[in-house]
Amino acid sequence: MAEPIQDKIKRSLQAAKGLYHRLVLLVGETGSGKTAVLRDVAEELGVPVININLELSAQLLELTAKQRALHLSELLDQLAATGSSPLVLDNLEILFDKELKQDPLRLLQGISRNNSVVASWNGRAERGKLIYAEPGHPEYRSYDLVDTLIVNMVGKATVDTAMKTREVGDA
């Protein structure tokens, strides 16, 4: 019998404790059920799910476009500092907004140095790459899977620490 994805996430959180960035990404396409899985995990862990789009957009409204780009990282850090551990983050699309001129993965890695983080990633992980959007889309991003814990909505949980993916249970 296949291991429930919620258990894969919890096991990945345990494996993340030994990494510099304690970040677990739940990767799946739109409509794959990431939000429901995150809610289940958050409920089991006794922590809230933080809607990043909602929280940050409310704070960014009062700022000019230039101020938004300058202060986004600081606002995300403040949001992370007020949360419980682990942080469970959903709806990250605002981090990819081209007007904000940010590196979304780097932002998530930054807050995961001081706190374990589980975050949804609207995209896919394939052939050693973490992908957001399609090539040609203004928000398209592609990252190498190095020191990144991934739980796929359609596959097994993996960690890649030396450009070679291994199952988290073996990490």
pLDDT in tens, 133-143: 999 999 999 99
pLDDT of 52 strictly over 80 = yes
Per-residue pLDDT band for 155 (boundaries 50, 70, 90) equals low
The pLDDT assigned to 169 comes to 37
The neighbour count for residue 125, using CB atoms within 10 Å, is 23
d(CA 102, CA 2): 37
d(CA 38, CA 33): 9
For residue range 22-51, list pLDDT tens digits in order: 999 999 998 999 999 999 999 999 999 999
pLDDT of 7 strictly over 90 = yes
The pLDDT assigned to 48 comes to 95
The overall average pLDDT reported for the chain is 87
Structure token pair of residue 46: 């006794």
pLDDT of 88 strictly over 60 = yes
pLDDT of 167 strictly over 50 = no
pTM confidence score? 0.87
The pLDDT assigned to 1 comes to 57
For residue range 99-111, list pLDDT tens digits in order: 999 999 999 999 9
* DSSP assignment string, 90-128: E--GGGG-GGG---HHHHHHHHTTTS-EEEEEEEEEETT
